[in-house]
């Protein structure tokens, strides 16, 4: 193995996003020698954490909410399918994680919603092009890297992990390649997989998310290939169901127009009106909200054959609801907005089946007027979002697509972020944190997709992974001390 570079450390972290950097920094502050292996060679390497809007919440609730209440919110959001150990861990340590980040020098401001009370400063309002520089997630990653360096740890750029190093049933490091094509081998007492979700992997998306990966929009840094998930599976790790992703409904023109992502959501317009396919039929419960609707769009036989249907009242009231609103910027930025004085004319403009669209809207309006939208097929709920009648001309049809930010399924872990095997036993020396893991978010097939929050999930489990690693290291050192 003379042509293989040998590296040794106490903790090897795969991935330099928030989960990896929280784990690395916390472990290093406990005395461990830590190396972070980041596949990108760029100084400010792109990842979802660098592009984040920076809102730390727990299931759309403030992290200052009492833990018992947060645990209930997680359970409600996920339809009771969240792993209890993970749900309780995140609920218990959500505020602790934010306070720890503040101790590292990070600042927070209040955002527009009540649960936005911890938003990274300076806030990232619109990160198109390089608008993220010097803001939110960029500041977070650079702050944590500075803290890591003070302890002697390093982020090693251009180092791509390829295979976990296993000694019988124990993980003892990782094999990989550097940016020049050279091979390296890391010998480590603990290895942490934290390289993000699999949203950029066409094969994994096709396996679990959509029949046509090319027709869902990558509303992300486009660096989540699922390598860590694959390596962990090869090493014997158990995986959760891979269904579910966090994302939003975007204009279908985002594929050709950079101005139309990551914002200008169609979520609130669609949640007030209806979503239909080209045949003019509704296919999901719009009342479940944008994340769930985006998942439903991705699962359609033609993920680019979807339209949000609204009238003037919806466009005026729900199309302008927040800073991500499509009214009026969608048209100003060149996005397609079909407008007509009748549903018949609207259908012809958009290429939707005319009679079916009129029938779908008529049935919907009748159900809303009678106060029984739950009788529709599929049912329409109103506990989260009010259902508006579509009866005020002109009418709108917005060609839509699913914008995927990060995937929710992945490596199964326990409440200390230890990777579990198929018998649900920890694999010695192996941890995982962040979007590469599953078991917290998601929900049962056919239900709303339970969104908890990528930042809080990553930071809590990163802290817990580091704390367990340091506890194990401390015990080992006690045993060998004279």
pLDDT in tens, 64-83: 999 999 999 999 999 999 99
Q: Are residues 195 and 87 in the same domain?
A: yes
Q: Are residues 48 and 187 in the same domain?
A: yes
- DSSP symbols for 18-61: HHHHHHHHHHHHTT--EEEEES--STT---HHHH---B--SSSS
Question: Which CATH number fits the domain that encloses residue 301?
Answer: 3.90.700.10
Q: Are residues 443 and 362 in the same domain?
A: no
pLDDT in tens, 93-108: 999 999 999 999 999 9
Residue 474's contacts (CB-CB under 8 Å, 6 or more residues apart) are none
Q: Are residues 416 and 391 in the same domain?
A: no
pLDDT of 480: 47
pLDDT of 481: 45
Q: Are residues 106 and 166 in the same domain?
A: yes
Q: Are residues 364 and 470 in the same domain?
A: no
Over the chain, what is the mean pLDDT? 95
pLDDT of 120: 96
**pLDDT band with cut points at 50, 70 and 90 for residue 128:** low
Compute CA distances 7 → 10, 11, 12, 35, 38, whole Å. 10, 11, 10, 9, 15
Range of the domain at 323: 248-404
- Count of structural domains within the chain: 2
Closest CA to 435 of 289, 225, 249: 225
**pLDDT band with cut points at 50, 70 and 90 for residue 223:** very high
Which tokens hold the place of 374? 């739950």
Q: Are residues 227 and 309 in the same domain?
A: no
Is the model's pTM score more than 0.75?
A: yes
Residue 296 pLDDT > 90: yes
What average pLDDT score do residues 337-362 get? Answer: 98
Residue 200's contacts (CB-CB under 8 Å, 6 or more residues apart) are 218, 220, 222, 223, 224, 225, 226
What average pLDDT score do residues 422-435 get? Answer: 98
The CA-based dihedral angle spanning residues 85, 238, 472, 103, taken in that order and rounded to the nearest 10 degrees: -60
* Cβ neighbours, 10 Å, residue 364: 23
The answer to whether 326 and 266 are in contact (CB under 8 A) is yes
Question: Can you tell me which residue has the tokens 């403030």?
Answer: 62
Around 239, how many Cα atoms within 13 Å sit in the side-chain half-sphere? Answer: 22
């Amino acid at each position: 193995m003379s042509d293989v570079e040998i590296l040794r450390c106490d903790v090897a972290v795969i991935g330099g996003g928030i989960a990896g950097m929280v784990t690395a920094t916390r472990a290093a502050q406990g005395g461990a020698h830590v190396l972070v292996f980041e596949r990108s060679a760029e100084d400010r390497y792109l990842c979802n954490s660098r592009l984040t809007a920076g809102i730390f919440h727990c299931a759309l609730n403030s992290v200052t909410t009492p833990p018992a209440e947060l645990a209930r919110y997680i359970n409600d959001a996920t339809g009771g399918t969240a792993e209890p150990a993970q749900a309780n861990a995140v609920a218990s340590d959500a505020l602790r994680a934010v306070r720890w980040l503040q101790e590292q020098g990070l600042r927070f401001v209040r955002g527009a919603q009540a649960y936005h009370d911890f938003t990274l400063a300076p806030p990232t309002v619109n990160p198109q092009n390089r608008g993220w520089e010097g803001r939110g997630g960029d500041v977070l990653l650079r702050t944590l890297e500075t803290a890591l360096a003070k302890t002697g740890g390093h982020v090693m750029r251009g180092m791509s992990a390829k295979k976990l190093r296993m000694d019988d049933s124990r993980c003892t490091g990782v094999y990989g390649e550097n940016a020049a094509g050279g091979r390296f081998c890391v010998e480590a007492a603990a290895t942490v997989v934290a390289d993000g979700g699999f949203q950029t992997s066409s094969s994994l998306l096709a396996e679990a998310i959509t029949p046509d990966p090319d027709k869902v929009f990558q509303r992300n840094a486009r660096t989540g290939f699922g390598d860590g998930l694959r390596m962990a599976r090869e090493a014997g790790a158990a995986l959760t169901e891979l269904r579910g992703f966090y994302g939003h409904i975007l204009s279908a023109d985002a594929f050709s127009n950079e101005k139309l992502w990551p914002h200008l959501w169609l979520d609130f317009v669609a949640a007030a009106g209806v979503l239909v396919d080209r045949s003019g039929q509704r296919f999901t419960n719009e009342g479940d909200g944008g994340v769930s609707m985006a998942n439903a769009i991705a699962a359609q036989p033609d993920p680019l054959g979807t339209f949000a249907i609204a009238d003037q009242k919806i466009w005026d009231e729900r199309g302008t609801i927040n800073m991500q609103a499509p009214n009026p910027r969608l048209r100003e930025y060149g996005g397609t907005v079909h407008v007509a004085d009748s549903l018949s004319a609207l259908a012809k403009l958009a290429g939707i089946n005319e009679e079916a669209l009129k029938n779908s809207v008529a049935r919907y309006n009748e159900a809303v007027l009678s106060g029984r939208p739950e009788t529709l097929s599929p049912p329409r709920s109103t506990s989260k979002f009010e259902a508006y009648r579509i009866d005020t001309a002109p009418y709108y049809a917005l060609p839509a697509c699913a914008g995927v930010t990060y995937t929710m399924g992945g490596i199964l872990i326990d409440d200390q972020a230890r990777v579990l095997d198929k018998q649900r036993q920890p694999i010695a020396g192996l941890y995982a944190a962040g979007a590469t893991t599953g078991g917290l978010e998601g929900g049962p097939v056919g239900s709303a997709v339970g969104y908890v929050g990528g930042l809080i999930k990553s930071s809590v489990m990163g802290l817990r992974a580091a704390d367990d690693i340091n506890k194990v290291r401390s015990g080992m050192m006690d045993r060998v001390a004279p």
